[in-house]
Structure 1
Amino acid sequence: MILEIADIRIQPGLQADFDAAIQHGVTEVIAKAKGFNGFKINKGMESPERYVLMIFWETLENHTVDFRQSPGFTEWRAIVGPFFAAPPVVEHFTLLSKSD
Structure 2
Amino acid sequence: MILEVATLLVKKGEEKQFEKDFEIASQFISSIQGYYGHSLRKCIEQENKYILLVDWEKLEDHTIGFRQSGHYLEWKKLLHHYYDPFPIVEHFEMILENKK
Q: Which TM bucket (shorter chain)?
A: over 0.9
**In 2, Cα distance between equivalents of 1:82 and 1:13:** 13
Q: Percent identity?
A: 31
Q: How many residues align?
A: 99
Is residue 78 of structure 1 aligned with residue 77 of structure 2? Answer: yes
Give the aligned CA root-mean-square deviation in angstroms.
Answer: 0.8
Instruction: Give structure 1 regions of 4+ aligned residues with deviation exceeding 3 angstroms.
Output: none
Letter in 1 for 2:79: V
CA deviation after TM superposition for structure 1 residue 23, in Å:
1.9
In structure 2, the gaps of 5 or more residues are: none
**In 1, Cα distance between equivalents of 2:48 and 2:34:** 29
State the secondary structure of the residue aligned to 1:32: coil
**In 2, Cα distance between equivalents of 1:23 and 1:11:** 17
Letter in 2 for 1:37: Y
State the secondary structure of the residue aligned to 1:8: strand
Letter in 1 for 2:31: K
In structure 1, the gaps of 5 or more residues are: none
TM normalised by structure 1 equals 0.95
**In 2, Cα distance between equivalents of 1:57 and 1:98:** 16
State the secondary structure of the residue aligned to 1:99: coil
Partner of 1:7: 7
Letter in 2 for 1:96: I
CA deviation after TM superposition for structure 1 residue 21, in Å:
1.1
